[in-house]
Amino acid sequence: MSEKFQYAIETEALGRSFQTYKKPEGLINSVKGLWNRETIEKVALQKTNLKIEPGKIIGLVGSNGAGKTTLLKLLSGLIAPTTGYAKVLGYEPFQRDPQFLRRISLLLGQKNQLWWDITPLDSYALLAKIYDLDEIKAAKRVQELAQILNCKHVLETQLRRLSLGERMKMEIIGSLLHEPDVLFLDEPTIGLDIVAQETIRHFLSAYVKNKGPTVILTSHYMDDIASLADRLLLISKGSLVYDGTVQGFVANAELIQTVTYKIVNQPEYKEEVKKADLNEFLVQLTQKGQIENIKIEETDFEDVIHSFLQKESRLL
């Protein structure tokens, strides 16, 4: 990064609401809707205050419709805020200053951003022109990134002919070609098999260590978040409900542990016990008889987040 900022990303009461209209069920209401529509306002993101230091990887987690993508779109300048403001690298994103756009990248895992009808190599050559890069250096960089991602063999095949995993690798190369200072990754591993997920996760981890961009990452795969994020933001119903480390979140969560045990001359039992009550449970267990076998399963981050999202979904 050329300038030094205390915060790469800073928001103050940043919020966004949308106008939509209510469509009651039925054909009659469709006809009525020609002249009379009841508009409703939907708050996609409540007023949000956020400060993110340069070089940090932020995992943004929430259930569907929680406001994750809205936050990414606000920070990348795709949509205008309805309240507050955001500063990214000192720029107001929605102004869409070309200097700002040259320094960020938004990767949308569910959308193709490279050109469908041409080869990735042609797409990268065009991106080099769009970002005003040295074309020889850009071509060299493509080869390096493709080598690491093990996908050099598909660089000259039209994007439309590639598999989902290959396309995602191509998209990642495209999003990193101009070496952005801030990287917004929206579901970069969605729909990929475990091997492809692992490859991309390792690649991103190494890239971030090497180049040090600020990253905001959303993913439904908690392994992505657990292995990459320095900081976790949990978002629910448009509000930030947790801002801290992954470890901190797990430590504060009401953990449930599964205890499988067998007492001599009795069948095997499996019980779920709150972590806080575990000691007392074990004391009581020893009083029941001689324990032949016992296994305590630790709850991992995936389980904790899963239970959190389930709870939040029920509240929606």
Partner 1 sequence: MSFTAFYKRNLGFYKLAIASNLEYRMNFFMDALLQPSITSIVEMVLWMAIFKGAQATTIGGFDQNSYLAYALWATFIARATVNWTYEFKMIEEIDQGSINGLLVRPMSYYEYYLSQLLGYKSITTGFSLLFPIGIILATGLPTQWDRFPAAMLLVFYYLFFVYSISFCIASLAFFFNKVQSLTVSKNLAMWLVTGELFPLDLMPDYLRKIFLMLPFSSGVYVPIGFLTGRIGWEFLWHGFASVTVGIIFFSALGAFLWQKGMRSYAGTGA
Q: Which of 22, 32, 51, 111 binds partner 1 (CB under 8 A)?
A: 111
Determine, following the binding rule CB under 8 A, whether residue 152 of this chain makes contact with partner 1: no
Helix H segments across 60-104? 68-75, 98-101
| Cβ contact 231:58 at 8 Å | yes
3-state secondary structure of 222: helix
- Which residues lie below 8 Å from residue 182, measured CB to CB, with a gap of 6+? 8, 9, 75, 88, 89, 103, 104, 105, 213, 214, 215, 216
Least distance CB 305 / partner 1 (angstroms): 24
By CB under 8 A, what part of segment 156-185 binds partner 1?
Answer: 158
3-state secondary structure of 299: coil
Least distance CB 37 / partner 1 (angstroms): 12
Q: Sign (positive/negative) of CA torsion 151, 157, 160, 161?
A: negative
Position 248: which residue type? G
By CB under 8 A, what part of segment 198-257 binds partner 1?
Answer: none
Determine, following the binding rule CB under 8 A, whether residue 101 of this chain makes contact with partner 1: yes
Position 190: which residue type? I
Give the H/E segment covering residue 266. Answer: none
Least distance CB 80 / partner 1 (angstroms): 5
Q: Rounded to an integer, what distance in angstroms lies between the CA atom of residue 61 and that of residue 95?
A: 27
Q: Which of 129, 137, 211, 306 binds partner 1 (CB under 8 A)?
A: 129
Determine, following the binding rule CB under 8 A, whether residue 83 of this chain makes contact with partner 1: no
Determine, following the binding rule CB under 8 A, whether residue 142 of this chain makes contact with partner 1: no
Determine, following the binding rule CB under 8 A, whether residue 190 of this chain makes contact with partner 1: no
Determine, following the binding rule CB under 8 A, whether residue 47 of this chain makes contact with partner 1: no
| Residue nearer to partner 1 on the CB measure, 99 or 265 | 99
Least distance CB 199 / partner 1 (angstroms): 23
Q: Rounded to an integer, what distance in angstroms lies between the CA atom of residue 154 and that of residue 121?
A: 9
Q: Under the rule (CB under 8 A), what is the footprint of partner 1?
A: 18-19, 73, 76-80, 96, 98-99, 101-102, 104-106, 108, 110-113, 115, 117-118, 122, 125-126, 129-132, 158
